């Protein structure tokens, strides 16, 4: 029951101000968002790649209100890509991008987001890596898929995310499971109405398996974004039945969640990519992590009280 309440709070400016200003917040936030600047995050990137993991980087921020902020978001990714190039880590680290941060919700936002994301995709390709477009709430997805299709004309390796909780996703998966496509499947992290999305965990998990089967049996490159042990074993079994080799799909998990499992799967020879977020505008990302596991909220509340 707490999840939807926390997700509603993630859209509230009042809650954002309250939580962002709490002195203890940064320590708790660190578990999921381990830095604010490129300099903070470089040691984390080196540490994870040094342990055999790959990364996808998210410069956090989503509720922007001006074109200047969207341009700043683009520049933040370009600065990160420059640093990865200097470190020679381009091929191990890809980018995850939220189009809302690139201006999608502003007037003329579809074109603005496309114009801002394109240089990031170009810069990523120049250092041997790629970009995946994150999936946000359902109202943004037609635009996201259109941007994805446009980018793929020049950069076919550009990935996108689909969310098992949405009714539309089975059809999206059939369309996307084509040769050369890279698709991350997740359960879905936003508060969605019953008209467009399954609401019960069991239904979402069943939909996840159906969509995963479509991706595994298709010709694209499935990226399994989940920490759910049951879904991870099902993914391994579906990959085996589809005759996929270990480098024909990958697992992805979030930084700070089930870290032992990241290492276990990598040690088994799987490609394991850790979604690593950093930056100052962490509120939305942090609140979604609290909503996914209410025990996180209890821990957060206890830390505030004990201060
Ligand atoms: P769950 O059933 O939620 O969790 C399984 C187990 O994992 C839990 O029992 C718990 O042990 C652990 N766990 C899960 N979440 C947490 C947490 N926050 N804190 C502590 N433990 C936890 N969603 C989108 O809507 N759009 C995206 O673009 C997107 N990108 C993602 C990228 C990656 C790599 C991953 C892993 C997730 C992404 N998500 C995205 C979030 C996703 O939709 C889910 O909300 C999230 O992954 C939790 O679902 P689960 O599959 O891990 O299963």
ipTM of the complex model: 0.98
For the purposes of burial, counting CB atoms within 10 Å of the CB of 11, is it exposed (0-12), middle (13-18) or buried (19 or more)? middle
> Would you say residue 73 lies in a domain?
yes
Nearest to 174 by CA among 215, 206, 205, 144: 215
- Note if the pTM is more than 0.80: yes
CB 225 within 8 A of CB 202: no
Q: Which two tokens stand for residue 219?
A: 């010709």
Residue, of 29 and 186, whose pLDDT is higher: 186
Q: Would residue 277 count as lying in a domain?
A: yes
pLDDT at site 120: 98
Q: What is the pLDDT of residues 111-127, one digit of tens each?
A: 999 999 999 999 999 99
Residue 220 lies inside a defined structural domain of this protein: yes
**Tens digits of residue pLDDT in 256-275:** 999 999 999 999 999 999 99
- Please identify which of the residues 58, 134, 172, 205 carries the catalytic annotation: 134
Residues 144 and 168: beta-carbon distance below 8 Å: no
Are the beta carbons of 169 and 163 closer than 8 angstroms? yes
CATH code where residue 133 lies = 3.20.20.220
Q: What percent of the chain has pLDDT over 70?
A: 96
Does residue 298 sit within a domain?
no
Is the pLDDT reported for residue 282 higher than 80?
Answer: yes
Does residue 187 have its Cβ closer than 6 Å to ligand 1? yes
**178-192, 193-207, 286-300: segment of lowest average pLDDT:** 286-300
Our answer to whether residue 134 is catalytic in this structure is: yes
**What pLDDT shows up at residue 41?**
97
Query: What six digits make up the tokens of 9?
Result: 């709070």
What confidence score (pLDDT) does residue 191 get? 92
The number of distinct structural domains making up the chain is: 1
Distance 202 CA to ligand 1 centre (A): 15
218 is in which domain, residue-wise?
2-293
| Residue 116 domain flag | yes
In a domain, 299, yes or no: no
The pLDDT of residue 259 is 96
Residue 21 has pLDDT above 80, yes or no: no
Residue 235 has pLDDT above 80, yes or no: yes
Q: Residue 198 is encoded by which pair of tokens?
A: 């399954």
Active site residue 184: yes
CB 169 within 8 A of CB 207: yes
Q: Is 47 annotated as a binding residue?
A: no
User: Distance from the CA of 144 to the center of ligand 1, in angstroms?
Assistant: 21
pLDDT at 58: 97
| 305, part of any domain | no
DSSP assignments along 56-70, one per residue: EEEE------SHHHH
Alpha carbon separation from 192 to 105, 199, 301 (Å, rounded): 18, 8, 26
Determine the pLDDT at residue 12. 79
Q: Which residues on neighbouring strands pair with residue 162, listed in sequence order?
A: 185
Could you report the per-residue pLDDT of 67-99, keeping only the tens digit for each?
999 999 999 999 999 999 999 998 899 999 999
Residue 223 within any structural domain of the chain: yes
Among residues 219, 211, 278, the alpha carbon closest in space to that of 243 is found at 219
Q: If you measure from the C-alpha of residue 56 to the centroid of ligand 1, how many angstroms do you get, rounded to a whole number?
A: 15
Q: Is the CB of 98 under 6 A from ligand 1?
A: no
Find out whether 187 is annotated in a ligand binding site.
Answer: yes
At residue 23, the pLDDT reads 65
Answer whether 226 contacts ligand 1 (Cβ < 6 A): yes
Distance from C-alpha of 227 to C-alpha of 259, rounded to nearest angstrom: 10
- Is the Cβ–Cβ distance between 112 and 67 less than 8 Å? yes
């Amino acid at each position: 029951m707490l999840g939807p309440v926390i997700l509603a709070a993630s859209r509230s400016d009042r809650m954002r101000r309250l939580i962002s200003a709490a002195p203890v917040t940064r320590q708790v936030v660190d578990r999921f968002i381990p830095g604010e600047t490129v300099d903070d995050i470089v040691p984390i990137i080196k540490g994870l790649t040094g342990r055999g993991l790959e990364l996808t980087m998210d410069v956090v921020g989503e509720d922007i209100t001006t074109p200047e902020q969207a341009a700043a978001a683009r520049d933040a990714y370009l600065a990160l890509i420059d640093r990865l190039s200097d470190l020679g880590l381009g091929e191990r680290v890809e980018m995850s991008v939220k189009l809302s941060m690139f201006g999608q919700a502003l007037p003329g936002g579809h074109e603005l987001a496309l114009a801002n994301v394109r240089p990031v995709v170009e810069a990523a390709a120049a250092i041997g890596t790629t970009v995946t477009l994150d999936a946000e709430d359902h109202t943004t997805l037609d635009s996201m898929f259109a941007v994805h299709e446009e980018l793929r004309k020049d950069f076919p390796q550009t990935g996108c995310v689909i969310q098992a909780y949405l009714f539309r996703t089975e059809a999206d998966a059939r369309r996307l499971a084509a040769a050369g496509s890279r698709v991350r499947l997740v359960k879905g992290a936003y508060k969605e109405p019953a008209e467009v999305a399954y609401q019960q965990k069991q239904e979402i998990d069943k939909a996840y398996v159906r969509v995963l089967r479509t991706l595994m049996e298709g010709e694209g490159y499935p990226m399994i974004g989940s920490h759910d042990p049951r879904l991870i074993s099902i993914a391994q079994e579906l990959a085996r039945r589809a005759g996929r080799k270990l480098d024909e799909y990958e697992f992805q998990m979030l930084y700070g969640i089930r870290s032992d499992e990241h290492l276990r799967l990598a040690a088994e020879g799987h490609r394991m990519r850790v979604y690593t977020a950093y930056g100052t505008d962490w509120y939305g990302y942090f609140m979604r992590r609290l909503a996914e596991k209410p025990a996180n909220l209890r821990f957060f509340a206890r830390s505030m009280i004990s201060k």
